[in-house]
Amino acid sequence: MIAVTVHGAEGRMGRLVTELIEATGDLALCGLVTEVGHDSPAGDFHPRLPLTPQDRLPEIHPRGGVIVDFSLPTALAGLLAGGAAADAPLVIGTTGHDESQMEMLRRYADERVVVLVTNFSIGIPVLKLVLEQLATLLPEGFMPEQIETHHRHKIDRPSGTARSLALAWEAKRGGGKVPTHSVRVGGVTGEHSWIISDDEETLVVTHRAHSRRAFLRGIVPAVRFAARGTPGLYTLEDILAGGA
């Protein structure tokens, strides 16, 4: 049985992850963590577990258990401090980290497993592989642009997924940054479209999430991988390629 604490439990994704963990036979939900000042006793937010403030994370998380994070980049320092105290591998779905925060994650991954994923759907890793192939196969005249659309409450522009896809193309193709356009409207769950065109032809490749539950599909494999893996910084592509 793998013990799991959800960090950022009050958020929309945190709530869905909590339900998923409780419905998965080999995972045991052991803690729900929120920001300092938002804690509450068992029975208020969750029937069995209290909402624990971040500064008490080491008190409630069993050593070696996995922490799943869907919070905000500003919570990273506290998460890493608590995670280190519990010697916890991390599965991180939070996006929008700056370079200094990424360096903090890389240092943490020197000693523990960190699975850092911008999008836990199954389709996005496949889309990334398709784009890498297109970047290699298409003649020089084909130029890409990316349009990413999300609900109006999403903060980061462009999305972490859009940045990840663009980096994958750029690493294979070269030739500068991929123009990326961000749309924030209504309740759109998430859509990433690529338009790749020359003077004669156009290819359009799109991934569309129909609900937030699409973003849960890679979490259980990621948790299982984190619990048994060796220290390092991993992506969902690494996990799926290994058959986790």
Catalytic residue among 154, 181, 207, 210: 154
Catalytic residue among 61, 97, 128, 150: 150
Report how far Cα 121 is from the mean position of its chain's Cα atoms: 9
How many other CB atoms are found less than 10 A from the CB of residue 191? 15
Cis peptide bond upstream of 231, omega within 30 = no
In this structure, what are the phi and psi dihedrals at residue 114, rounded to the nearest 5 degrees? -130, 120
d(CA 98, CA 77): 12
Residue 168: name the closest of 178, 158, 180, 159 by CA. Answer: 178
Concerning whether 154 is annotated as a catalytic residue, the answer is yes
d(CA 10, CA 13): 8
Report how far Cα 92 is from the mean position of its chain's Cα atoms: 5
Concerning whether 150 is annotated as a catalytic residue, the answer is yes
As annotated, the active-site residues are 150, 154
